[in-house]
Amino acid sequence: MRPVISVERAGHQNVLAFMNTIGYTEGTDNGRQLTLHDGYDVLVGGKLFTDFKDHPNVLVQLNPKLASTAAGRYQILHRFWVIYKKQLNLPDFSPMSQDLYCLNILREQRALPLLIAGRFDDAVARTNNIWASLPGSPYGQHTYSMAHAREVYVKNGGTLA
């Protein structure tokens, strides 16, 4: 599925393709994860939430040394959601609010012009410190290869320079 935000609001089809790639690599919208709302309802670890009034803020113990509050299509951490919800005046944790959050992060990381220009690899390099499943992420969790991520991006309508 595609993000709920329009191409016009996102600025380019490549931005939507990249957002889909994030959902895929984060495991929330890849065809293997149960979801009733295209990944917008997924907690880290795979359980679902149903209330979109606000970030669910559920601390999930992933292993003895790692716990996370990541939630939604883009696996947004609660501590960041609190800041951006206020900054962006987001009313809830709905799919549109999650898309606007993601779009803002892409803007802050200076990835939007790269995506519009079809510079996928460079956009990944600008954002893999945010999304730990993207190729080259420094966090040590499972990542996808650049070739696989590119394939997902192109399959979702992205173009390469």
The boundaries of the domain holding residue 51 are: 7-155
Q: Is 83 part of any domain? A: yes
Number of structural domains the chain divides into? 1
Active site residue 151: no
Q: Is 71 part of any domain? A: yes
* Residue 124 parent element (H or E): helix 120-127
pLDDT of residue 1: 66
Catalytic pick among 8, 26, 108, 151:
26
pLDDT of residue 143: 87
pLDDT digits (tens, 9 = 90+) for 71-106: 999 999 999 999 999 999 999 999 999 999 999 999
Q: Is 2 part of any domain? A: no
Q: Is 29 part of any domain? A: yes
Under a CB-based contact definition with an 8 Å cutoff, are residues 38 and 73 in contact? yes
Q: Is 161 part of any domain? A: no
The domain that contains 102 carries what CATH number?
1.10.530.10
What is the value of pTM for the model shown? Answer: 0.94
Tell me the residue ranges of DSSP E strands in the chain. Answer: 60-63, 66-68
